[in-house]
Amino acid sequence: MLSRLLSLLLGLAIPLVAQDLHLRGARVVTGTGAPFGAADLVVTDGRIAPPGSEPSPFATAAELRGDAVVVPGLVDAHGHLIGLGRSLVNVDLVGTRSFQEVIDRTAARARELPPGAWVIGRGWDQNDWDDTAFPTHARLSAAVSDRPVWLTRIDGHAALANARAMELAGVTRATPAPSGGAIHRDDDGEPTGVFIDRAMALVGGSVPEPGPAEIEEALLAAQRQCLSEGLTAVHDAGIGEDAIDILRRLHVEGRWRLRVHAMLPASETAAIRRGPWQTPDRVLQVRAVKAYADGALGSRGAALLEPYSDAPGQRGLLLTPRAELERIARLCYECGFQLCVHAIGDAANRAVLDVYEAVVPAADRARVRFRIEHAQVVADADFARFAALHVIPAMQPTHLTSDMPWAPNRLGPERIGGAYAWRRFQALGLPVPFGSDFPVERSDPRLGLFAACTTRATDGSGPAVGFRPDQRLDRLRALQGFTRDAAWAAFLERELGTLETGKLADFTVFDRDVLTCPDAELLEARVLLTVIGGRIAFAADGVLR
């Protein structure tokens, strides 16, 4: 009866009424390193009851069998919900092994769309192809000539347009690249179809914006994906006020359960001036702002202090001038918002640190918890500055495993020592929240745990000892990146991040102990339950009877 009721309620996309739970035979990982002290986990009114508490007679009961383990609710500290949802309906180019495969998938999707509709896709990465040069549009335009095509690179910092898309956007050989962007051109000066960073707007600005119904569809699709993978919260790195309004409505309607720490785009000044807010149940929290310092390493848009080792004439792009970054930082500080700046290259990280140091008074640096998103390549002298300025490095372990086939060539042997260095940050006493940057990477947090603990690729490629063996973490410390540190980075450490008496009952149940199982089994661990505020948001088939 209970399983039929659960299926009905989840199918209607409304939260369960009960906030009292009783998990019998629970093996609880508190996330602190200390034992829980009881065999049963009791939740009362949505919070963790003291060990040994008697459950309410109205509590939903479940018995955990075998090696099942309860861990604090997993958090993705840097993702893009709309992007994830849209990736589930647009052309998925992740994992393509050649440009021809990109063309074939795009052409197949074009045949399914009505006449004139744009073909939108994302996920290609030329570094995964035999020919690692950026593609040109000629073959794509020949395959799809009657409609516009816009294919975003996996990192979101470059895109490929076909001839029809450039024609509709009015892009010609005479079109100049904007500041902070680049247009790839052939030997005759004609655009090849590849646009980098700020130049993407030249064509991307012509792509029809999704309407409210499409945004709602994308958000709900992303929520289903995240909950099924054990995620209880996401820090959305750049979600606009219009989409947040849709989230608020879904929440009021009882259709939104995933916690969201939302980062407003820095361009939405009016919303920032109105100040932070959150729902009483802390499901939705708007108190952060997202800005950009540079592009991505894979497209050579990351801003480096010295030229790229594999492209001596390039140093990447600083997307936001120093004065503008200072204005944004000052606005956030004055309005009570946390500023989170995308910075991948060492020059970009240094520029953001300089701005934070100039804008935030020393006495307030620990309180405001300003962040740098990615902190991917950092100069040796700047690691200590993160700690001195109380700047949070929000990192994505799977970027290391995705980048490892080509990152050494981009950076050279010396700079690679300051790249993907989460353990080095942790040694300075800094919280290091972990995420995936989905849909750039897959949203599955098991992949991030595996990458943080092994620095190896899941397919066994690369060095057997790992790409950065000196940065490998033990399982607890890796788990804390997705739990305790992520809660700290969202100002929620008193309520979330560990399983302790009185905290909100957000937790993820796996079918095995993710702290002790072999590395390969970590990738096979099955999510049995995802619980948010004591409410079951996801249950695998057969878990509740």
Residues in a beta bridge with 510: 69, 527
Q: What is the SS3 assignment for 166?
A: helix
9 band by pLDDT with thresholds 50, 70 and 90:
very low
Q: What is the SS3 assignment for 390?
A: coil
How many whole angstroms separate alpha carbon 71 and alpha carbon 219? 25
- Which are the contacts of 98, defined by CB distance < 8 A and separation ≥ 6? 129, 130, 131
Estimate to the nearest angstrom the gap between the alpha carbon of 245 and the chain centroid.
21
| Number of neighbouring beta carbons within 10 Å of residue 212 | 12
How many whole angstroms separate alpha carbon 454 and alpha carbon 348? 28
Amino acid of residue 64: L
Q: What is the SS3 assignment for 77?
A: strand
Tokens of 493: 């450490």
114 band by pLDDT with thresholds 50, 70 and 90:
confident
Which one is the CATH code of 82-204: 3.40.190.170, 3.10.310.70, 3.30.70.1070, 3.90.1170.50?
Answer: 3.10.310.70
Comparing CA positions, the residue from 328, 202, 215 lying closest to residue 265 is 328
pLDDT value, residue 7: 35
**DSSP class of residue 128?**
G
Question: Would you say residue 445 has pLDDT above 90?
Answer: yes
Residues in a beta bridge with 532: 535
**Across 19-23, 335-339, 501-505, least confident range:** 19-23
With tokens 């490998």, the residue in question is 472
pLDDT value, residue 475: 97
Question: What are the tens digits of pLDDT across the range 464-510?
Answer: 999 999 999 999 999 999 999 999 999 999 999 999 999 999 999 99
Comparing CA positions, the residue from 86, 106, 102 lying closest to residue 94 is 102
436 band by pLDDT with thresholds 50, 70 and 90:
very high
Tokens of 412: 């050279």
As a whole number, mean pLDDT of residues 194-209 equals: 94
Q: What is the SS3 assignment for 464?
A: coil
DSSP track, 230-299: TEEEEEEES--HHHHHHHHHHHHTT---SEEEEEEETT-HHHHHT--EE-TTSSEEEEEEEEESB--TTT
How many whole angstroms separate alpha carbon 482 and alpha carbon 477? 9
Q: CATH topology for 211-294+320-489?
A: TIM Barrel (3.20.20)
Comparing CA positions, the residue from 239, 215, 258 lying closest to residue 85 is 215
Q: CATH topology for 2-73+504-539?
A: Urease, subunit C; domain 1 (2.30.40)
Helix (H) or strand (E) holding 41: strand 41-44
Query: 511 vs 64, which has greater pLDDT?
Result: 511
As a whole number, mean pLDDT of residues 246-275 equals: 98
As a whole number, mean pLDDT of residues 261-274 equals: 98
pLDDT value, residue 33: 94
**Across 121-125, 275-279, 387-391, 443-447, least confident range:** 121-125
Q: What is the SS3 assignment for 89?
A: coil
How many whole angstroms separate alpha carbon 355 and alpha carbon 330? 9
- Angle made by CA atoms 274, 276, 278, in degrees to the nearest 5: 125
As a whole number, mean pLDDT of residues 169-175 equals: 96
Estimate to the nearest angstrom the gap between the alpha carbon of 183 and the chain centroid.
27
**DSSP class of residue 145?**
-
How many whole angstroms separate alpha carbon 186 and alpha carbon 193? 10
Tokens of 133: 């040069």
Residues in a beta bridge with 196: 158, 182
How many whole angstroms separate alpha carbon 354 and alpha carbon 344? 15
**DSSP class of residue 114?**
P
- Which are the contacts of 324, defined by CB distance < 8 A and separation ≥ 6? none
Comparing CA positions, the residue from 545, 514, 542, 513 lying closest to residue 528 is 542
pLDDT value, residue 268: 98
Estimate to the nearest angstrom the gap between the alpha carbon of 148 and the chain centroid.
28
Burial string for 295-305 (b: 16+ CB within 10 Å, else e) reads bbbbbbbbbbb
pLDDT value, residue 545: 58
Give the pairing type, strands 158-161 and 191-197: antiparallel
How many whole angstroms separate alpha carbon 243 and alpha carbon 82? 9
The rounded mean pLDDT for the chain is 93
Q: Is the peptide bond before 439 cis (omega within 30 degrees of 0)?
A: yes
Question: Would you say residue 378 has pLDDT above 90?
Answer: yes
Question: What are the tens digits of pLDDT across the range 137-149?
Answer: 999 999 999 999 9
pTM over 0.85: yes
Question: What are the tens digits of pLDDT across the range 384-401?
Answer: 999 999 999 999 999 999
With tokens 């994992």, the residue in question is 95
Q: Are 155 and 177 in contact (CB under 8 A)?
A: no
Domain 2-73+504-539 identical in fold to domain 211-294+320-489 = no
Structural domain spans, the chain: 2-73+504-539, 82-204, 211-294+320-489
Question: What are the tens digits of pLDDT across the range 23-74?
Answer: 998 899 999 999 998 889 999 999 999 999 999 998 988 888 889 999 999 9
88 band by pLDDT with thresholds 50, 70 and 90:
confident
